Amino acid sequence: METLILGVNDIEKAAGIILKGGLVAMPTETVYGLAADALNGEAVASIFKAKGRPMDNPLIVHISKLSQIDMLVSEFPEKAQRLAEKFWPGPLTVILPKSHRIPEEVSAGLDTVAVRFPSHPVAQALISASCPLAAPSANLSGSPSPTTAAHVISDMDGRIDAVLDGGECSVGVESTVITLAEGTPKILRPGGITAEQISAVIGEVIIDSAVTQPLGKNQKAASPGMKYKHYSPKAEVILLDGDDDKFYEYIHKHSDDKTAVLCYNEEADSFSCVKIPIGAKNDDAAYAYHLFSALREADEKKCSRVFAHCPKKEGMGLAVYNRIIRAAGFRVTKL
Ligand code: AMP
Ligand code: MG
């Protein structure tokens, strides 16, 4: 199929494609999503096919007004309401018991559904002109998530009906996923809203161990997406944990002309290999914003290895750590 490239004035056209059961990649504040009518099981199934996504990895349903949640969930507990009031629209996904209207394909056989109200005006306009949209990130399964329409095209050209170009995504990593379906609220994936922000609103929050560690042999993933290899460019990602001097020393020793370094703006002059800036030192939100496009850039520049700073495991740093540790196959080199 030919993939149409639509602009922000083509919302009606994009909505028409969705309502006929088609697939449209849309910008959100986190990353580009690959959207289909969330209540049309057949349309949702085609998302999995286009991405090569395992069928047991459920999708997030996106809404554009709070009242739409009623048709998606069977319960909307008080803590979820408080989170919605504080963080929606925004990069927070809440998992709740699902309603009978949610197709099997969306929830991948679970009895819960993940719901998010994005803040991006183009995503909101598309949902309002069509219906609630099931949407995972609009990349081929396993590769870095797309933060521009060009990234979407590079993975999905010919595999989807259209991409709606709304420019660069402002957060750069996916939403925070929290389950409120049972027991103490638990973060299954860190993202644009930090654990610290959430706990200020609802009190105790647990962070699932799979956020920072590989699953144990007999351990079951609370969020099925956590068990898959993820976010990986073709280049090997090597995460370096140590102070700046040791970082420079290690890279000088181990780099060649096929090596890229994800570097802070301040240190760009310190390297002779391919440099890909990720913002100012200690600015974890900037690291998040640049991360996926930096990993894609390393591939575009035909690098075989990428060295990267190991972020701190707090605030937005935890979201970056969660992605890059998977891109690096859970290996951290201690300096
Ligand atoms: P993505 O495909 O990148 O948008 O990621 C969606 C994430 O949300 C994946 O990690 C899914 O496994 C997770 N997810 C979606 N729905 C559920 C659910 N009902 N229960 C647990 N995790 C979910
Ligand atoms: Mg994804």
The stretch 198-209 carries a mean pLDDT of: 97
Site to substitute for ligand 1 among 26, 44, 95, most atoms within 8 A of C-beta: 95
Asked if residue 89 has a cis previous peptide bond (ω within 30° of 0), the answer is yes
The stretch 251-278 carries a mean pLDDT of: 94
Mean pLDDT score of the chain: 96
The one-character DSSP state at 75 is -
pLDDT above 80 (res 264): yes
Query: Measured in angstroms, how far is the CA atom of residue 193 from the centroid of ligand 2?
Result: 17
Which residues, by Cβ under 5 Å, contact ligand 2, an ion? 137
pLDDT above 90 (res 329): yes
Query: Measured in angstroms, how far is the CA atom of residue 276 from the centroid of ligand 2?
Result: 23
Q: Do domains 4-211 and 236-334 have the same CATH topology?
A: no
Q: Which atom of ligand 1 is nearest to the CA of 188?
A: 22
Query: Measured in angstroms, how far is the CA atom of residue 270 from the centroid of ligand 2?
Result: 34
pLDDT at site 217: 81
Which ligand minimizes its atom distance to the CA of 107?
A: 1
Give the other-Cβ count within 10 Å of 158's Cβ: 9
pLDDT above 90 (res 215): no
Q: How, if at all, do strands 60-62 and 133-134 pair?
A: antiparallel
pLDDT at site 12: 98
The stretch 123-149 carries a mean pLDDT of: 97
Ligand 1 pocket member 63 (CB < 6 A): no
pLDDT at site 109: 93
Q: Give Cβ neighbours of residue 179 (< 8 Å, ≥ 6 apart).
A: 94, 95, 112, 185, 186, 188, 222, 223
One-character DSSP codes across 75-138: ---HHHHHHHHHH-SSSEEEEEEBPTTS-HHHHTT-SEEEEE----HHHHHHHHHS--EE--BS
Residue carrying structure tokens 């802070």? 264
pLDDT above 80 (res 229): no
Ligand 1 pocket member 318 (CB < 6 A): no
Task: Specify which residues 35 forms β-bridges with.
Answer: 24
What's the CA gap between 176 and 30, in Å, rounded?
A: 10
pLDDT at site 242: 94
pLDDT above 80 (res 212): yes
Query: Phi-psi bin for 275: left (phi > 0), alpha (psi -120 to 50), beta?
Result: beta
| Residue 163 near residue 152, CB atoms below 8 Å | yes
Phi/psi at 166 (5° precision): -120, 25
In the chain, domain spans = 4-211, 236-334
The stretch 313-330 carries a mean pLDDT of: 95
Query: Measured in angstroms, how far is the CA atom of residue 94 from the centroid of ligand 1?
Result: 10
Strands of the 332-334 sheet, one edge to the other: 274-277, 259-263, 305-309, 236-241, 332-334
The stretch 210-229 carries a mean pLDDT of: 85
Nearest residue (CA) to ligand 1, atom 20: 223
The stretch 152-164 carries a mean pLDDT of: 98
In whole angstroms, what separates CA 18 from the centre of its chain? 21
Band of residue 93 on the pLDDT scale cut at 50, 70, 90: very high
Return the H-helix or E-strand segment holding 302: none
CATH code for residues 236-334: 3.40.50.11030
pLDDT above 90 (res 230): no
pLDDT above 80 (res 106): yes
pLDDT at site 225: 82
pLDDT digits (tens, 9 = 90+) for 175-194: 999 999 989 999 999 999 99
Site to substitute for ligand 1 among 188, 291, 323, most atoms within 8 A of C-beta: 188
Query: What is the value of pTM for the model shown?
Result: 0.97
Ligand 1 pocket member 177 (CB < 6 A): yes
Which ligand minimizes its atom distance to the CA of 144?
A: 2
Query: Measured in angstroms, how far is the CA atom of residue 58 from the centroid of ligand 1?
Result: 5
The stretch 282-308 carries a mean pLDDT of: 97
One-character DSSP codes across 208-264: -GGGTSPPPTTPPPSSGGGGS--S--SSEEEEEES-HHHHHHHHHHH--TTEEEEE-
The stretch 242-269 carries a mean pLDDT of: 94
Nearest residue (CA) to ligand 1, atom 23: 223
pLDDT digits (tens, 9 = 90+) for 64-81: 999 999 999 999 999 999
Band of residue 220 on the pLDDT scale cut at 50, 70, 90: confident
The stretch 270-281 carries a mean pLDDT of: 94
Site to substitute for ligand 1 among 47, 59, 229, most atoms within 8 A of C-beta: 59
Query: Measured in angstroms, how far is the CA atom of residue 219 from the centroid of ligand 1?
Result: 17
CATH code for residues 4-211: 3.90.870.10
| Residue 27 near residue 166, CB atoms below 8 Å | yes
Query: Measured in angstroms, how far is the CA atom of residue 275 from the centroid of ligand 2?
Result: 26
| Residue 7 near residue 165, CB atoms below 8 Å | yes
Give the other-Cβ count within 10 Å of 156's Cβ: 21
Instruction: Return the structure tokens found at 13.
Output: 């056209």
Return the H-helix or E-strand segment holding 307: strand 305-309
Ligand 1 pocket member 112 (CB < 6 A): yes
Single-letter residue type at 79: K
Which ligand minimizes its atom distance to the CA of 139?
A: 2
The stretch 218-225 carries a mean pLDDT of: 84
Determine what percent of the chain is predicted with pLDDT higher than 90.
93
